[in-house]
Each structure stands twice: as structure tokens, then as C-alpha cells.
Amino acid sequence: MTIFSKIIRGEIPSHKVYEDEHVFAFLDISPLSRGHALVIPKEEKATLDELSDESAAAIGRVLPRICRAVMRATGATAYNVLQNNGAAAHQAVYHVHFHIIPKTADGRGLGIDWKSGKLEPDAGRDLAARIAELLAAGD
């Protein structure tokens, strides 16, 4: 169990913005910008790939709505949705969470160091086929 389960249960205070049967959302305690919010499933899973279809669907249904409200409340017109999985990917709290991070007029928000590579056609074909195969097998 992580600190987020305690937040869901109200044992640790938070600035809640949304709650339903499967989903809870609240303001991040160390915001990158004004309005930085976290959307989490009530289901206690560490990473997104472990999440049930039911929780995933519930988050998918409300995430755009919460984004709209955060944007309207802050006046921001751009934002990032960030979802970290694993320490190497900057995850600190091992309960699935989606960050909504407004890009505000003062320039605050998510900084991205995007070092892109090149997808070689043969490698791309093989990799896509392997992923599709795993998906078809129900993984």
C-alpha cells in the first residue's frame, strides 16, 4: 500500500477535485505548475500494465473531463498528461497515477528532453509484428 491509498481513504489530507467508484483525483503537493493534478485508480496497482480493464476504462472516461476542468480553472491552453512506470522512468509512488500538468503563461510545466532516434523499416516491421502477436494472444 502507498501514500495514495491513504489519500483515497482520507487518512492523509489532499485537495480533492474528483471522485467516483473507481477513480480519485487531487492536486499534486509539489506542482510543476499551477493546476498540476493527479488522477489515480482506486485499485492498488503499481504500474499501468497491471491495471484491470475496468479501472482503465473508468480513468479513460473521466481523464479528458478533468483535463478540461483544470485548463478552465487555470486559464492554461496547453498541457501534458504524464504517466510514469518504474524508477528508471521517474516513478516515485508505486500506485498508478496520471499527471495533468498545465503549461502556464509563466513558462512553468513539464520540461521534456526528447532525444528521438530513427525507426528502421525492417526492425519496425518485426517489432510491430511481435507486439501485435502478443496482443492477439491476449497478453
Is residue 90 within the footprint of ligand 5GP (CB under 6 A)?
Answer: yes
- Candidate list 5, 28, 71, 108; residue touching ligand 5GP; CB under 6 A: 28
Q: Which is nearer to ligand 5GP, 102 or 117 (CB)?
A: 102
List the one residue out of 16, 48, 26, 36 whose CA is nearest residue 110.
36
Helix (H), strand (E) at residue 70 = helix 53-74
What is the C-alpha to C-alpha distance for residues 106 and 28, in angstroms, rounded to an integer?
Answer: 19
Question: With binding defined as CB under 6 A, does residue 2 bind ligand 5GP?
Answer: no
Smallest distance from the beta carbon of 40 to ligand 5GP, in angstroms?
A: 9
* Whether residue 36 lies in the annotated active site: no
**DSSP 3-state helix, strand, coil percentages of the chain (rounded to 5)?**
35, 20, 45
Q: Is 47 in the site for ligand 5GP (CB under 6 A)?
A: no
